[in-house]
Amino acid sequence: MKFISIGHANIDITLFVPELPTPDKDVKVLASTIGTGGAASNFAICVTKLGEEAGLLAVVGDDLMGKFFLKKLEEHGVDVSHVEVARGIGTGMVIVINEIGKQRRMISISGANARMNPETIRKWSATISEADFVHVASLEIENALAVAEEREDLSWDPGTKVVRLGFKKLRPMFRSVKRILLNREEVRMLAGKENLKDAMRFLSELGPTEVVVKLGSEGSIALVDGTFYETPALSPLVVDTTGAGDVFDATYLVARARNYGVRESLELANAAAALKISRPGTTSGIPTWNEVLIMRSTFYTF
């Protein structure tokens, strides 16, 4: 099976600090990592680590960071043959600041990601059509809609920035989405309903056969064919949450593609995200399929 993910290509520089600096103050970095990032990139790497084929459709710059990005994804076994290299612009970058004991903060530079447009998507038409599964990850809505013109069975994690555009702008996507994956605030914001299950029902009526919601420390919930499935979270040591949602998405979708049931797929996805959270770095902490199976069997009873 081959998964294609479409979205951003970034270099993530993660800094672990004891506190944020005040004006004119210097704070010593306790530890740091540098690696690839972007939701679609994280997704593709996770798919390969879980044992399936993955390809990435994205845009990088013609700089050293772009070369570094492509090299690292190739090392993970991701097909980057269709990644576009934009001339005269740098590769996207995200600075992730992890203040010990507090939520992360991120500073982003769009770079070459801004060069992707609907025409770029149309150039990838054959690749999109030929893939077994296509996942759209945190992609600008005009580009996501261009993907939707190519396929009618997409999985889609729009991300908070896109969800904030409002339901009216996002509604046309639903005709082409089979599985939508969101967090609690996103599903409420998108549906305009405070009650979580009511919000999920509302979205399911628009077309998706599976509405999956990530609840963080409370686990996850899915609505499939009118039935709700709820699974509790594991309780890992939290080191770095960057990329955990992408790991959840990839694991859930790979499990479903392998004909695991909904509840089993949620448990596997929770286990994978827990493993990622317990390790530093955006992609260096992504688990293998065997690690996910062991984690699930250790913490869930059957």
Q: What is the pTM of this model?
A: 0.93
In the predicted structure, residue 89 carries a pLDDT above the cut 90 = yes
The pLDDT, as a whole number, for residue 281 is 75
Nearest alpha-carbon partner for 215 in 194, 192, 232: 232
The CATH number that domain 2-20+30-299 falls under is 3.40.1190.20
Question: How confident is residue 302, by pLDDT bands cut at 50, 70 and 90?
Answer: low
Tell me the sheet residues that pair with 55: 4, 79
CB-CB contact of 135 with 5 (8 Å): yes
Token digits of residue 23: 């004006």
In the predicted structure, residue 299 carries a pLDDT above the cut 60 = yes
Token digits of residue 251: 């694991």
> How confident is the model over 245-259, as a mean pLDDT?
98
Q: What percent of the chain is modeled with pLDDT above 70? A: 99
In the predicted structure, residue 41 carries a pLDDT above the cut 90 = yes
**Which letter does DSSP use for residue 81 in this model?**
T
Work out the angle at residue 109's Cα, subtended by the Cα atoms of residues 103 and 110, and round it to the nearest 5 degrees: 115
The pLDDT, as a whole number, for residue 282 is 75
**Which letter does DSSP use for residue 173 in this model?**
G
List b or e across 132-163, with b for residues whose CB sees 16 or more CB atoms inside 10 angstroms: ebbbbbbbbbebbbbbbebbeebbbbbbeebb
Give pLDDT tens digits for 148-183: 999 999 999 999 999 999 999 999 999 999 999 999
Say how far apart CA 45 and CA 53 lie, in whole Å.
9
Say how far apart CA 139 and CA 80 lie, in whole Å.
18
Q: Which of 51-60, 98-107, 111-120, 204-213 has the lowest mean pLDDT?
A: 98-107
Domain ranges of the chain: 2-20+30-299
User: Mutual orientation of helices 244-257 and 262-277 as an angle, nearest 10°?
Assistant: 150
Give pLDDT tens digits for 228-242: 999 998 887 888 888
Give pLDDT tens digits for 181-229: 999 999 999 999 999 999 999 999 999 999 999 999 899 999 999 999 9
Average predicted confidence (pLDDT) for the chain: 94
Question: How confident is residue 91, by pLDDT bands cut at 50, 70 and 90?
Answer: very high
The pLDDT, as a whole number, for residue 285 is 86
Question: How confident is residue 301, by pLDDT bands cut at 50, 70 and 90?
Answer: low
